């Protein structure tokens, strides 16, 4: 149960000026630059972070490489590494509310969501990969008598981690924890507008006993710090979550530098496919509304397209709109808020223009799609339900990353599969039906990394999270994520 008084006390705390973490030392950017951090809750200034440059990235990568090569972490006894990562998980749990509130102050997610999705999942992630350290090992291949072939899983070296402003703590942990568990060093670049919770996490990692230089943090602009990490010859693997446009740039940086492996977790345009025989249409309507409108739609797996069987289309869509209209929008640090702040004025303007364009392209706006609560100084938007969206409309195909739901009717399972696949994305989705054959046929037909049946968004650290098509490659979470951060080495011996 969240304590509103405790949250209110934490939101009033002064946030100090933030530094970079390089080789275990907190320091300002080499060129002295800073970036202002503004709260989307009320537009107020929160603090400043260091504006790193390529000079800082070079120092961070050099420190990470030194730490890797001298084995202070990469060759530390597995049981000791495991203890340090568990200690970090303990610290995250101990300061869960503080971390969650800090994150909400710069990114605008509802605290009711952030406490589990950010702090809770970060702790679970560090625990899970801590346990993997002394449980995942190499292999002996079944080669002929007189030979022995050892398959070693070697850490790659220096991992560059670049993450977005939504759920930075969760997504950052999904990459940092397995990279560290595999024995690598990390250079982390959070989003310039939402770095605070990850900087706090790095301080906790130090407190937990992670050796200097193993986790470095360089804050600043993507086009400067991110580019320098992407182009660096000593960064061996890049683990990225963000937009497709930045993902393309990272592939380009890799090809222009050392051909580093790039793992990309990108956008989505995920479908909720609702058949008339769904076990409980009221539950489905509630979950569909929450699956797109919580966190103001700023969720990569948001169910942003509702595909509804025509015979229930009008009634079901009206119910989703009714639920959406009743959701509480506003201050994300109020426990009762269901739709928090849009992350920035730029994001808000983009969301609103998507709604206008959808209407111009023939959609019927049932509700929402307008700026609200402007008097607070924050960036808030009412949830938009756009009905009868044609499959060639921009809003059907393009990720909005805001509280905008497009609705399209279908007549058959084949048509539903076709519509579900009619975007460049393949991140998530769901099927709602009582017919197990329909559920199986449709989930097998949709090209997406994670699909749900009669629910939406369910997952935990044991299940992989990744996209197909232009939603990316590689996965976060589960033991499969470890594969991104190791090289397989074969040693063949003649005995």
Q: Which residues are catalytic?
A: 265, 300
Mark residue 151 as left, alpha or beta (left: phi above 0; alpha: psi -120 to 50; beta: remaining).
beta
Could you say whether residue 169 binds ligand NAD (CB under 6 A)? no
Is residue 467 involved in binding ligand NAD (CB under 6 A)? Answer: yes
164 binds ligand NAD (CB under 6 A): yes
Point out which span in 38-46, 284-292, 388-396, 466-474 binds ligand NAD (CB under 6 A): 466-474
Closest CA relative to residue 306, chosen from 272, 277, 276, 280: 272
Cα torsion angle, 192, 194, 196, 201, sign: negative
Binding mask 290-329 for ligand NAD (x = CB under 6 A): ----------x-----------------------------
Please count the other Cβ atoms lying within 10 Å of the Cβ belonging to residue 442: 26
**Separation between Cα atoms, residue 188 and residue 206, nearest integer Å:** 14
Q: Please, which residue, 417 or 481, has the CB nearer to ligand NAD?
A: 481
- Binding string, residues 105-144; x marks residues near ligand NAD by CB under 6 A: ----------------------------------------
Q: Which of 82, 87, 105, 189 binds ligand NAD (CB under 6 A)?
A: 189
Distance CA 14, CA 301 (A): 33
Say how many residues make up the chain.
495
Contact 310, 273 (CB under 8 A): no
Near ligand NAD by CB under 6 A: residue from 267, 368, 369, 378: 267
**Binding residue (CB under 6 A) for ligand NAD from 99, 266, 341, 442:** 266
C-alpha distances in Å from residue 311, one per residue of 307, 320, 326, 373: 12, 16, 25, 37
**β-pairing verdict for 20-22 and 25-27:** antiparallel
Q: Stretches 48-56, 243-251, 351-359, 485-493: which one binds ligand NAD (CB under 6 A)? A: 243-251
From the list 110, 192, 236, 309, which residue makes contact with ligand NAD (rule: CB under 6 A)? 192
Cβ neighbours, 10 Å, residue 466: 24
Q: Single out the segment in contact with ligand NAD by CB under 6 A; choices: 102-110, 132-140, 218-226, 322-330.
A: 218-226
Name which position in 101, 162, 214, 486 contacts ligand NAD (CB under 6 A).
162
Query: What's the alpha-carbon Rg for the chain, to the nearest Å?
Result: 23
Q: Provide, rounded to whole angstroms, the least separation between the CB of residue 307 and ligand NAD.
A: 20
- Strand ranges inside 143-291, DSSP E: 147-155, 158-162, 185-189, 215-217, 237-241, 261-265, 271-274
Binding site for ligand NAD (CB under 6 A): 162-166, 171, 189, 191-192, 222-223, 226-227, 230, 241-243, 246, 249, 265-268, 300, 399, 401, 427, 465, 467, 471-472
């Amino acid at each position: 149960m969240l304590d509103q008084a405790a949250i209110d006390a934490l939101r009033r705390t002064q946030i100090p000026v933030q530094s970079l973490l390089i080789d275990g030392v907190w320091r300002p950017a080499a060129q002295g630059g800073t970036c202002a951090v503004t709260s989307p809750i009320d537009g107020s200034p929160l603090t400043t972070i260091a504006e790193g440059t390529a000079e800082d990235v070079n120092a961070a990568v050099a420190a990470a490489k030194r730490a890797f090569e001298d084995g202070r972490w990469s060759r530390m006894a597995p049981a000791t590494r495991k203890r340090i990562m568990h200690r970090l998980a303990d610290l995250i749990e101990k300061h869960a509310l503080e971390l969650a509130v800090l994150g909400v102050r710069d990114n605008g997610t509802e605290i009711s969501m952030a406490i589990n999705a950010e702090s809770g999942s970060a702790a679970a992630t560090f625990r899970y990969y801590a346990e993997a350290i002394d449980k995942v090992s190499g292999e002996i291949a079944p080669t002929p008598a007189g030979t022995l072939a050892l398959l070693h899983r070697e850490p790659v070296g220096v991992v560059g981690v670049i993450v977005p402003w939504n759920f930075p703590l969760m997504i950052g942990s999904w990459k940092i924890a397995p990279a560290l568990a595999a024995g690598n060093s990390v250079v982390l670049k959070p989003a310039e507008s939402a770095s605070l919770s990850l900087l706090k996490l790095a301080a906790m990692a130090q407190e937990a006993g992670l050796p200097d230089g193993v986790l470095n943090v360089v804050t600043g602009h993507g086009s400067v710090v991110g580019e320098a990490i992407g182009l660096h010859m000593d960064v061996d693997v890049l683990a990225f979550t963000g937009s497709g446009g930045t993902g393309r740039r990272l592939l380009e940086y890799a090809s222009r530098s050392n051909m580093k492996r790039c793992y990309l977790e990108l956008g989505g345009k995920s479908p909720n496919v609702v058949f008339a025989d769904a076990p409980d249409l009221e539950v489905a309507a509630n979950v569909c509304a929450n699956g797109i409108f919580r966190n103001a739609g700023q969720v990569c797996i948001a169910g942003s397209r509702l595909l509804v069987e025509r015979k229930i289309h009008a009634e079901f869509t009206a119910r989703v709109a009714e639920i959406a209209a009743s959701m509480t929008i506003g201050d994300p640090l109020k426990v009762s808020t269901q739709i928090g702040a849009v992350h920035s004025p730029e994001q808000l303007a983009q969301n609103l223009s998507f709604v206008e364009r959808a209407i111009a392209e023939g959609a019927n706006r049932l509700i929402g799609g307008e700026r609200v609560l402007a008097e607070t100084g924050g960036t808030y938007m009412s949830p938009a339900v756009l009905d009868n969206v044609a499959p060639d409309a921009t809003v059907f195909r393009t990720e909005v990353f805001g509280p905008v739901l497009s609705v399209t009717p279908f007549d058959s399972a084949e048509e539903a599969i076709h519509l579900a696949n009619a975007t460049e994305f393949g991140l998530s989705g769901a099927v709602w039906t009582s017919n197990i054959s329909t559920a199986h046929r449709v989930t097998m037909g949709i090209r997406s990394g994670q699909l749900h049946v009669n629910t939406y968004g369910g997952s935990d650290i044991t299940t992989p999270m990744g996209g197909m098509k232009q939603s990316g490659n590689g996965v976060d979470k589960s033991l499969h994520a470890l594969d991104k951060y190791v090289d397989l080495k074969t040693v063949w011996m003649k005995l």
